[in-house]
Structure 1
Amino acid sequence: MTVASTRSASIGLIIGCIIFGLGSLIVAHVAIGGWAMAFWRLAISGIIFALLAKFTGQRLPRSRRAIVFGLLSGVFLGLDLALWHESIHAVGPGISTLLNSLQIFFLAAIGFLYFNERQSILQLGSLCLAMLGVAMIGSPEFAQNTNATWGFITGIVSGAMLAASMTFIRKTHDTEPTPIFVLMQLISIGGVLAMIVPMLFFDRGHILPNTWAEVGWILIYGAVMQCIAWGLIAYSIPKLSLTLTGLLLLTEPIAALVIDYSWLDKPINTLQGSGALLTMFAIYLGSLKPKPHALRR
């Protein structure tokens, strides 16, 4: 791979992650419930991916199991988004996005339990560092924020839901290779269907936008954050080394923390800042997979 293609892929990945971070700012400012916001994001992106699949001639997989796995991936992605939104409202975009990024450790656990993937000493050590970093972030937050418990629970569980969603994407492809636009369409449908009941129950009175400006922000959130940002990330990751990918993916929580501190006036003291840096370093270490001889399938 040429230096120019590596550079362009790196820039694309960074831009995609920064756009994701900016998405949390929309969630924080639009007066819509977390479950409803997930519903609209997936509904808008689902329409876009359905049109793209039709225009490109991509078709549904023949295997019913593959379709079911794609829909289940969407169910867990919907839960991930809704819980992440709840965490944003409770503890702010920065901390919530950092907690969501802990999904790498849930993926490692799923790989160990279901795919017989061994974990390296480096990955186990990174988990301990991440736990210490989260404790450093949480200690002052619990002292000054009555919603901290809910924010940390939803943020961490959202990471687990994202890991489950990614696992079902893998199972979809293992069952039958599925074109990207069709796969994202299935994921959107599964997520939308899963959001209807909890949205009506938890977000009653906060489901519909109140102004045309909020309509615009919701459209941007669904089209730009779910489609363009995911597209940039999906395009860039296969073109980069695993080490560089793990490092650049950390621009998402970094961007969210900067937004939280500078635009939303979120108080972040030295202990929390150090904990955030330690957690991001641990996430980077956890993203490094063992060498091939250490893997067993």
Structure 2
Amino acid sequence: MLGALAGALIIATSAILVRQSGASAAPASFFRCLFALPVLGALSVRDRRRRPALPARGRWTAWAAGVLLAVDLVLWSRAIGYVGAGLATVLANLQVLLVAGLAWWLLDERPSRSLLAAVPAMVVGVALISGVGSQHTYGANPGLGALFGAVASVAYAAFLLVFRHGMPAPGPGNNAVQPLFHATVGATAGCAVLALATRDFALGPAWPALGWLALLAMSSQVVAWLLITNSLPRLPAALTSAVLLVQPVGAVALGALLFAEHPSPGQLAGVALVLVGVLVATAAEPLLARFRLLSRSRAMGRAG
């Protein structure tokens, strides 16, 4: 629980550090991944001394997942510039719906009823964050920020599915260190290609920009990822979703505190709808299943 909570709190600072660096989207994403590689590489080498090396297919899958992560990071960083650090982080939580949709389409994994029930609330929430129906919204271009955030969520959802497909089978002999290292290799290369394709090289003064991005790499790309990937599988689903809500709530609070980001009442209502949708989509079905199981057990006990 503490590990997952710490990871979520660390990731809540990601957008803040991107904005603090002053770098544009592609360089911020590239250096975030590049600075994480030496640490993840050392951990991966250490892991291979105790566990089998990731097979070739797993490495290729992780590299492909990393390219999708690069698309997500660059688009998400662009969204920060248009709609602010807090709201951009809230928009990233759309991946909860998109992962389920892609899994249904590609893997025939039918989504739960609670997730389908959460769709209308989250769609309305995104519309409110984008400024639909309001003339007083926070952000240089909240509509474009919402668009970039939504497309980034599609890329992130695809990343999660591909990354999960390449992960070794769960068990005491496996963890996420090696797949995460190879995914970060792919993400670094993908960010470099996107920077060249979009001619986005704006970094600003090397110091302190690179210092902020190095901190981002060590905190979010290394420590937080390892904490979350090793902690969340051991937690109940309802608790997992509650912990993950710390990330967007924390980002909105930090954006208001550090950068005076003050979303309009309509945008805050959109934030609330997106977060409620995430909670319903990820927690309601496991709780209902447990309640039904408990009810059946009590009925069988009375019958006995």
Superposition TM-score, scaled by structure 2 size:
0.85
Q: Distance in 2 between matches of 1:176 and 1:20?
A: 24
Distance 1:51 1:92, change over 3 A: same
Distance 1:271 1:194, change over 3 A: same
Structure 2 match to 1:157: 151
Structure 1 match to 2:10: 19
Contact 2:76 2:149 in 1 (8 A): yes
Q: Deviations over 1:141-177 (max 9, x none)?
A: 9734552232111101111111111111121136999
Structure 2 match to 1:188: 184
Q: 1:50 deviation in Å?
A: 0.8
Q: Distance in 1 between matches of 2:210 and 2:105?
A: 43
Structure 1 match to 2:272: 277
Contact 2:134 2:266 in 1 (8 A): no
**Is 1:61 aligned with 2:57?**
no
Q: 1:271 deviation in Å?
A: 2.2
Ranges in structure 2 where 5+ consecutive residues have no aligned partner: 290-304
Contact 1:34 1:203 in 2 (8 A): no
Query: What amino acid is aligned across from residue 257 of structure 2 in structure 1?
Result: S
Q: Distance in 1 between matches of 2:146 and 2:133?
A: 10
Q: 1:225 deviation in Å?
A: 1.2
Distance 1:81 1:205, change over 3 A: closer
Give aligned pairs, total: 282
Q: 1:29 deviation in Å?
A: 1.8
Query: What amino acid is aligned across from residue 41 of structure 1 in structure 2?
Result: R
Distance 1:140 1:128, change over 3 A: closer
Matching residue within 88, 91, 112 for 1:120: 112
Q: Distance in 2 between matches of 1:215 and 1:267?
A: 28
Contact 2:125 2:270 in 1 (8 A): yes
Distance 1:156 1:220, change over 3 A: same
Contact 1:53 1:59 in 2 (8 A): no
**Is 1:131 aligned with 2:123?**
yes
Structure whose alpha-carbon radius of gyration is higher: 2
Matching residue within 85, 92, 105 for 1:100: 92
Contact 1:60 1:67 in 2 (8 A): no
Q: Percent identity?
A: 22
Contact 1:77 1:191 in 2 (8 A): yes
Distance 1:34 1:274, change over 3 A: same
Q: Distance in 2 between matches of 1:141 and 1:150?
A: 15
Structure 1 match to 2:297: none
**Is 1:247 aligned with 2:238?**
no
Contact 1:133 1:278 in 2 (8 A): yes
Structure 1 match to 2:73: 81
3-state secondary structure, aligned to 2:167: helix
Q: Distance in 2 between matches of 1:54 and 1:141?
A: 53
Q: Distance in 2 between matches of 1:43 and 1:166?
A: 20
Q: Distance in 1 between matches of 2:25 and 2:167?
A: 30
Query: What amino acid is aligned across from residue 235 of structure 1 in structure 2?
Result: N
3-state secondary structure, aligned to 2:27: helix
Superposition TM-score, scaled by structure 1 size:
0.87
**Is 1:41 aligned with 2:37?**
no
Q: Distance in 2 between matches of 1:157 and 1:21?
A: 20
Q: 1:123 deviation in Å?
A: 1.2
Q: Distance in 1 between matches of 2:197 and 2:260?
A: 31
Contact 1:66 1:176 in 2 (8 A): no
Q: Deviations over 1:88-119 (max 9, x none)?
A: 11100111111111101011101211222222
Q: Deviations over 1:72-102 (max 9, x none)?
A: 1101111111111110111001111111111
Q: 1:201 deviation in Å?
A: 3.8
Ranges in structure 1 where 5+ consecutive residues have no aligned partner: 1-8, 293-297
Computed over aligned residues only, the root mean square deviation of the Cα atoms, in angstroms, reads 2.4
Q: Distance in 2 between matches of 1:141 and 1:51?
A: 51
Distance 1:153 1:142, change over 3 A: farther
Q: Distance in 2 between matches of 1:141 and 1:87?
A: 20
Q: Distance in 1 between matches of 2:224 and 2:70?
A: 17
